[in-house]
Amino acid sequence: MWSHPKDFHALQQELKAGKQRFTDLVQHYLEQIQQQNNAINAFIEVWEEEALQKAAFYDEHPEDLPPLAGLILGIKDNLCYKGHKVTAASKILEGYEAVYTATALQRLIDKGAIILGRLNCDEFAMGSANLYSYYGPTRHPLDLTRVPGGSSGGSAAAVAAGMVTAALGSDTGGSIRQPAAFCGVIGFKPTYGRISRYGLIAYASSFDQIGPITLSVRDAALLYQAMAGKDPMDNTSVNQPVEPWETIQWQQPPKVAYFKEILEDPALHPQIKNAMEKLIENLKNKGIVVEGVAFPYLEYVVPTYYVLTTAEASSNLARYDGVRYGFRAQAQDIEELYVKTRSQGFGKEVKRRILLGTFVLSTGYYDAYYAHAQKVRRLMKNYTEELFKQYDFIVSPTTPTPAFRANERPDPVAMYLNDIYTVFANLTGIPAISIPFQERVERLPIAHQWMAPWFKEAQLFSFIKHYL
C-alpha cells in the first residue's frame, strides 16, 4: 500500500531511493480519485494514460530524474494545456481544446511534473464557493454539505482529499487562499506579475495571478520558484530576480502589523478571532514586534474590487460570441447568434458580473463608479507602501468564517463578502499566503493569512520557516 507523506520533498526522497515506483504513486492517486471524486466532484477530467506513461518513463530512467519528478499535479480548468480540453467550467467553451500551454504550467512540466487532470472551478473563476460551475458544484472533502471555497475550489478539495500532490489555481480576489483556508491546505498568491499569466483564461487581467495549492509551505515555495520569472509572451510579467528563500537569515526579529478593524469586525467568527489573538501572543513571546494599525479602507475593499473586476470581465468576456471558438447557438442572423450564444453559454453569476461591469463602464456612470474605484485602489496602494516602510509583514485571518453550507449564502452580496480579507492583496498586488491554524471550528479548518511587500516572497517563506 502506498504511504502518502504530506511533504513532496519526503515523497521524492522515497522515489529517488527506489523504495516506491512512480507508476505506483500515480496509481495511488488514480485510486483516490476513483473512490472520492463522485462525491466531491473536484476533477472534471483525468488524463490517466498520459500520466501513467510519464511515470513509467521515470521508472525506466531513474538515473537522471528532473527536479519535480514525483509531483503529481492537478490544474484548474482555466489553464491552457496544449492538446487538452479547457473550458473555464463554462458551457460557452464546451469542447474547446487548447492550442498552446500556459507558461507557468510549461515550466512545471519541463521540470518533471506529471499532470493528472483538470479541476473544477467557478465558471470563469467567478465565485467564492465553487457553486457556479457548468459541471456542478464541488463539495468539501470533510463535509459534503459544505462548500470548498472558490473559485479554485476543485484545486483545494483535490489536494485536501489526497487526490494529487499539489494543484494550480488562479487568484483574482482570494480564489486560491480562500478555498485553501476552507479545506485546511496551503494557498499562495505571488506578487502580481511575478508569474506569467500567458495561457490563463482571463477574468480580470490586472488582478489575476497563478499560484500553487499544496500540503506544505515548502512545496508552495518550490512550485512558486519553478513558475516565477519574466515571460516574453506576457508583457505584465516582471523581470525581477527570484531569490532563494532557504538562505535568508534574520539578524533581528521582523516587525508585523495587523489591522485592528479586522479583529474588531463583527463578521469575524469569535473562534477565528481567538485563534488570531493566540497567534499574535505567541509571536510576541518569540521577540517579534506585533502591532495593531488602523485600516481605514476595510468597508471599501469589496465594493472597489467588484467594480474594477466586473468592468475588466465585461471586456475580457466579449470575445465569447459563438463566432471563433466554443459553443455556438442555432441562429438566423449574426445578432441572434450573439444573443443566443451568450444567453445559453454563460451561467447566472457570469451574466451578473458582465452586466455590472458593463453598467459601471457605461456613459454617465464611468466617472461615478469605475474612475472612482481606480482612485480608491491607488489610495490603498499608497497606504500599503507607507505601511511597509514600518513593518515587514501584515497578518490577518484568511476568511471571516469556516466553510459554510452550500445553501447558506443565497444573496450574491453576502457571497461577495467572503472575500473581504483576501481582496486587499489583489487590489495592491502584494504576495499573500494562507496557512491553516491548528485549531478547528466545528471540525472545520480555519486559517491565517500573511502578506509581504512586493517581490518579497523569499522573505515571506523564510519568515514562516523561522518563526511559525
From the candidates 90, 128, 133, 151, which is the catalytic residue? 151
3 assigned to active site:
no
151 assigned to active site:
yes
Asked whether the beta carbons of 337 and 344 are under 8 A apart, the reply is: no
From the candidates 54, 76, 189, 456, which is the catalytic residue? 76
Measured distance CA(102)–CA(406) in Å, rounded: 32
Name the helix (H) or strand (E) containing 343.
helix 334-345
User: What are φ and ψ of residue 357, in 5° steps?
Assistant: -65, -40
Those residues whose C-beta lies under 8 Å from the C-beta of residue 23, and which sit 6 or more positions away, are 52, 55, 56, 59
Query: Cβ-count burial of 61 within 10 angstroms (0-12 exposed, 13-18 middle, 19+ buried)?
Result: exposed
Measured distance CA(394)–CA(384) in Å, rounded: 10
Sheet with 289-293, strands from edge to edge, namely 43-46, 114-119, 72-76, 166-170, 210-214, 186-189, 432-441, 444-451, 393-397, 255-259, 289-293
Measured distance CA(273)–CA(264) in Å, rounded: 9
Amino acid at 316: N
Measured distance CA(79)–CA(89) in Å, rounded: 11
Other CB atoms within a 10 A radius of the CB of residue 260 amount to 14
From the candidates 175, 196, 434, 462, which is the catalytic residue? 175
Those residues whose C-beta lies under 8 Å from the C-beta of residue 225, and which sit 6 or more positions away, are 242, 244, 245
Q: What are the residue ranges of helices labelled H in 135-210?
A: 153-160, 177-183
Name the helix (H) or strand (E) containing 22.
helix 22-40
In sequence order, the β-bridge partners of residue 114 are: 72
Measured distance CA(299)–CA(383) in Å, rounded: 15
Asked whether the beta carbons of 117 and 47 are under 8 A apart, the reply is: yes
Measured distance CA(149)–CA(304) in Å, rounded: 21
The upper half-sphere exposure of residue 425, i.e. CA atoms within 13 Å in the direction of its Cβ, equals: 36
Asked whether the beta carbons of 45 and 134 are under 8 A apart, the reply is: no
What DSSP state is assigned to residue 339?
H
76 assigned to active site:
yes
Residues noted as catalytic: 76, 151, 175
